Amino acid sequence: MEYLRTLRNNNVIYSGTRNNFNQQTTSDFSIRFVFSGNERYNIGKRQLSIHNDSFLILNKGTHYTSTVESAIPVQSLGISFDDKFLQDFKNSWQLKDDTLLNLNTYPFINRYEHEFDETIYPFKGDLFFNVNHLKHHLDRGLQDELLINEYLHHCLINYFQIFNEEIFQKAQRLNFLSKSTKIEILRRLNLAKEYLYSNYNTNISLDELAEYACLSVTHLLRTFRQAFHQTPHQFLVQIRLQRAKDLLRNTDYPVNEIVNMVGFDCPSSFIRLFKDRFQTTPMKYRLSF
């Protein structure tokens, strides 16, 4: 099902199967989701790939191209927020008593009022639930704009929470005195993360990862562990396992083929890692659906 909804307040929602190639400039701040398959965005020299476990933030005015490289149909959802809606949201969020009392918990409110971090974030928690509810209603033809905007308002709350968790809370873990250094290092570590998210199925060397993140290998390893409590390799394995799980559930590919598709070398180590993480074997997991 494909639809493009422009609400009376100029928020825009697009849902459908993407074409093979799409070239655009974002007119507003927007969030991009993929529910099946994967979509690759080229922004300048960066190539970002989103799956159903992640989402992408695009700032107003960003020029991008997107391509679909997927064996299964790519269902995507894009939400663009009108400037005024975004500003009203920020004003109301700032005035909430609990927010005012917790400015240390939400430092981005003042310091990053006009700035969003354009990268890939994990699609999880309340954002996952609210976006899925919204899509469910829109797919069934919901016309009530008050309700649609209620969901959009909550999508922004949820995005800010994820942004706060992924940027500021993790920056606090870094062993640097200066707050601005912490934030800058965290931004670079997020570049490393987006590289892993986007190239998880290739053989990634630490050198190329460090170069992409503009950090030395030593610095990358040390700070990545400090911020995320795991190594880049552990993070990569986590992504591969999650995406293998998705392929097991949604496709008929043989397990051996999935092993190669997600970037593992050896089926036996894949099965061991899968069992460690999900407490079941890949075949048992597939048969449970």
Partner 1 sequence: MKIKYIPVFTNDIEKQVAFFTENLGFEVYGKKNLLPDREGILIKTNSPDLFIIVLTDPDQAYTRSQIIINSHDCLSDYHNLKMAGVVFFNEPHYLPMGLGAEFFDPSGNQYLLIEERSYNSPA
Q: Which of 5, 40, 90, 154 binds partner 1 (CB under 8 A)?
A: 154
Among 124, 179, 275, 286, binds partner 1 (CB under 8 A): 124
Min dist CB 246 to partner 1, Å, is 10
Comparing CB distances to partner 1, the nearer of 129 and 205 is 129
Residues in 217-246 at the binding interface with partner 1, rule: CB under 8 A: 242
Q: How far is the CB of 68 from partner 1 (least distance, A)?
A: 21
Q: State the nearest-atom distance from the C-beta of 211 to partner 1, in Å.
A: 29
Using CB under 8 A as the binding rule, whether residue 144 contacts partner 1 is answered as yes
DSSP of the chain: --EEEE-TTS-EEEEEE--SEEEEE-SSEEEEEEEES-EEEEETTEEEEE-TTEEEEE-TT-EEEEEE--SS--EEEEEEE-HHHHHHHHHHHHH-HHHHHTTTT-THHHHTTT----SEEE--HHHHHHHHHHHHHHHTT---HHHHHHHHHHHHHHHHHHHIIIIIIHHTTS--S-HHHHHHHHHHHHHHHHHHHHHTTS---HHHHHHHTTS-HHHHHHHHHHHHSS-HHHHHHHHHHHHHHHHHHH----HHHHHHHTT-S-HHHHHHHHHHHHSS-HHHHHHT-
Among 29, 41, 64, 123, contact with partner 1 (rule: CB under 8 A) = 123
Among the candidate windows 72-80, 120-128, 180-188, 261-269, which touches partner 1 by CB under 8 A? 120-128
For residue 52, the minimal CB distance to partner 1 (Å) is 8
Q: Which of residues 42-71 bind partner 1 (CB under 8 A)?
A: 53
Instruction: Kindly list the residues in this chain that would bind partner 1 in the complex (CB under 8 A).
Output: 53, 122-126, 128-130, 133, 137, 144, 146-147, 150-151, 154, 242
